[in-house]
Structure 1
Amino acid sequence: MTHLSDFQIFLLLTILKIVVVLVITLTAVAYTVLLERKVIGLIQNRWGPSRVGPFGLLQPLVDGLKLFLKEDLMPLAVERPLFVIAPVIALSCALISIAVVPFGSIFTYRGVSLFEISDINIGLLVVLGITSVGVYGIALSGWSSNNKYSLLGSLRASAQIISYELALGLSLVGVVMRAGSLRLRDIVGSQAHHGLLSWNIWPQLLGFFIYLMAAYAETNRAPFDLPEAESELVAGYHTEYSSMKFAMFFMAEYANMITVSCVATLLFFGGATSPLGHLLPDNFGGPILSAIFPILWFIFKVFCFLFLYIWVRSTLPRFRYDQLMSFGWKWLLPLAMVNIVITALVLAIHG
């Protein structure tokens, strides 16, 4: 019987992790859509999806099948290669950034960390870089569609994402300064000592507010969903898309929501660490429970952010476009710089 080498074990475990995380992420995307429809239904005093399966739980499966079976129309005047590749870029960038997210405690087998796909020492930069590239998919989709509404939607999205990218990046500098590292594991570890009291949300409350506002704009969600404003632009940059190409843009939006929620959880709310800190020992409940509990804490925190996304969408009206740009450049960007200066002064005085 041949024994597998360390490299073969590493390769097999990595492929297995990629498959598992991809399946879970895509399932989470589908059921985030159902969660949104259910929560908005309850807020508007109606049922939401309730016919397909018990409590409407099979609705995402039916919606996906419907989109898959629809005719894939392609208008005659589009720039075909770019028209096809645009949704692929958008969805790929939305899914790749999940690779550096540590969604559990440090748990290794044969030297391989089981609860994150890749542990990179500049993980935060990787997430910001990959999510920034996603705007190319939106820009190309609007331009290649040869449609005025699509072009206007993609121009809005490009300007909006570039504008709010600055505030979003700068809002995280305070967290990086406090942790002294861009590695996501280190940032989570710096918040683990005293549980709830160690989380960055308290000293970085201003940074968290800026991050939250910029994240809504980055993911084109209400009240900043101007690129696909139905009352003005039909459906914005994906007006000409149908079937699975449309579904890929739809999936990319919800995958980006999940990524933003994961990053907020890691940077401001202690990631997979318990709010009780070291009041409970690390080996509480044996090795299996001590591995499962951090994952459950992480999922719960991400769920809370997704619920907040949906709550905001169902209660706040859409901004005007000039208000959107003014808010980003005149308020969020200066506030992010003020947050950096204050954090640096506090660290210098206490350091």
Structure 2
Amino acid sequence: MDGYYFLEKFGLITVIFALSLVVAMYSTLAERKIAGFLQDRVGPNRAGWGGMLQPLADGVKMFLKEEIIPAESSKFLFIVGPSLAILTACIGSAVIPWGDTIVLFGRTVDLQVTDINVGVLYIFGVVSLGVYGIMIGGWASNNKYSLMGAIRAASQNISYEIAMGLSIIALLMMTGSLSLRDITNQQHGFWHEGWFSWNFFSQPLGFLIFLVCAFAETNRTPFDLPECETELVGGYHTEYSSMKLGFYLFSEYINMFVSSAVMSTLYFGGYNYPGMDWVMEHAGPTWGPLVGVAALLGKIFFFIFFFMWVRWTVPRFRYDQLMNLGWKVLIPLAIANIVATGLWMTVKATYF
């Protein structure tokens, strides 16, 4: 481990951080464009060609807006809330393998910030901390609507994290590893030993449960009860303005980006794709892995589009429906999936 190692990691962290911000920034434009398409209208089209500069205009507007801190709020926690939300959103991508090892300037560079053997637990830990940013912001605002949004966020997070964790247990039983790199390598290519190698084909129910819980964890419609405009004005960020509001909005889109990356890695092969071995053989050790990075980004962008498509298609749940789905449907289904997976693995080990 030399000085170049730390330089490589610093460069990789910088690229991933910049990518997260750019994707979050242009997700706001994509959301409005997709909404416009589904509602038979144009969407933003004034700032730049086709509205391409609209996210920059929105960012400048956020920076230049007046900074307002309510007189009756807890001022320190009022600032800590959005700061914690954006921090936890950004650090979740540290354990995601963005590509295979690449040869650059004669050095082998691993396209992953860190490969820890409990990567899945790290993701869940970061996700669990993220709700504290919402809870602190809602409570510190000293606003009844904000407090109600914070309480909803806490109870929603508790409800759906259980089902999400149980859905992952069945996957971990089959992979035998908590490392995201190991899980990705086990899904090499697309076809392995006469069977589809991606975990989606062996755990379709687990993926469906994880997907629904991901909507709830990111506070996306139809599970956006913590910021329900029709009931709570704006929920936990009602009293926020300027870049503190921007941090909350940005953290939601970054969480959506990271959630899409995690789903792509756990269930859809990560940077693996059909014909990967042929491409790696002909493209070489430098350009070959970059095709895998592009494949992973393509899967991520598809899931981001899916998040947005659902938002403008499915109506918002009532709060009792949200709780019933989490506790009475998803958790029993996840437990049944664990039992079915265990039985299948026992039969397979005994008779095959």
Q: TM-score, normalised by structure 1?
A: 0.95
Distance in 1 separating the partners of 2:230 and 2:96:
37
Distance in 2 separating the partners of 1:79 and 1:58:
36
Q: Does 1:228 align with 2:227?
A: yes
Q: What's 2:287 paired with?
A: 289
**1:212/1:144 Cα in 2 relative to 1: closer, same or farther (>3 Å)?**
same
User: For 2:311, which of 299, 310, 313 is the aligned residue?
Assistant: 313
Q: What's 1:247 paired with?
A: 246
The letter for the 1-side match of 2:113 is I
In the TM superposition, residue 294 of structure 1 has moved relative to its aligned partner by: 0.1
Q: What's 1:74 paired with?
A: 69
**1:99/1:205 Cα in 2 relative to 1: closer, same or farther (>3 Å)?**
same
Deviations along 1:177-202, one digit per CA (max 9) or x if unpaired, are 11110000111111115448211111
Q: How does 1:138-157 map to 2 (within 5 A)?
A: 138-157=134-153
Q: Percent identity?
A: 46
Distance in 2 separating the partners of 1:32 and 1:335:
32
Where 1:51 maps in the other structure, the secondary structure is coil
How many equivalent pairs are there?
345
Q: What's 1:135 paired with?
A: 131
Q: What's 1:216 paired with?
A: 215
Range with bigger deviation, 161-170 or 282-291: 282-291
Where 1:285 maps in the other structure, the secondary structure is helix
Q: Does 1:179 align with 2:175?
A: yes
Distance in 1 separating the partners of 2:39 and 2:116:
44
The letter for the 2-side match of 1:74 is I
Distance in 2 separating the partners of 1:99 and 1:28:
16
Where 1:322 maps in the other structure, the secondary structure is helix
Q: Does 1:43 align with 2:41?
A: no
Contact 2:90/2:254 (CA < 8 Å) preserved in 1? yes
The letter for the 2-side match of 1:321 is Y
In the TM superposition, residue 14 of structure 1 has moved relative to its aligned partner by: 1.3
Range with bigger deviation, 161-170 or 268-277: 268-277
Q: Does 1:84 align with 2:106?
A: no
Where 1:220 maps in the other structure, the secondary structure is coil
Q: Structure 2: where are the runs of 5+ without partners? A: none
Contact 1:10/1:112 (CA < 8 Å) preserved in 2? no
Q: CA RMSD in A?
A: 1.4
Distance in 1 separating the partners of 2:190 and 2:220:
34
In the TM superposition, residue 33 of structure 1 has moved relative to its aligned partner by: 1.1
Q: What's 2:263 paired with?
A: 264
Deviations along 1:232-291, one digit per CA (max 9) or x if unpaired, are 00000000000000000001101110111001000110000013354x253232233312
Distance in 2 separating the partners of 1:86 and 1:140:
5
User: For 2:16, which of 21, 28, 46 is the aligned residue?
Assistant: 21
Contact 1:72/1:242 (CA < 8 Å) preserved in 2? yes
Distance in 1 separating the partners of 2:107 and 2:151:
47
Q: How does 1:325-336 map to 2 (within 5 A)?
A: 325-336=323-334
Deviations along 1:14-58, one digit per CA (max 9) or x if unpaired, are 111111111111001101111111111101001111111111111
Q: Does 1:162 align with 2:158?
A: yes
Q: What's 2:29 paired with?
A: 34
Distance in 2 separating the partners of 1:284 and 1:124:
33
Q: Does 1:322 align with 2:317?
A: no
In the TM superposition, residue 166 of structure 1 has moved relative to its aligned partner by: 0.4
Distance in 1 separating the partners of 2:348 and 2:170:
15
The letter for the 2-side match of 1:41 is G
Contact 2:156/2:323 (CA < 8 Å) preserved in 1? yes
Distance in 1 separating the partners of 2:100 and 2:282:
13
Contact 1:216/1:224 (CA < 8 Å) preserved in 2? yes
Distance in 2 separating the partners of 1:145 and 1:108:
50
In the TM superposition, residue 112 of structure 1 has moved relative to its aligned partner by: 6.0
Q: What's 1:204 paired with?
A: 203
Q: What's 1:3 paired with?
A: none
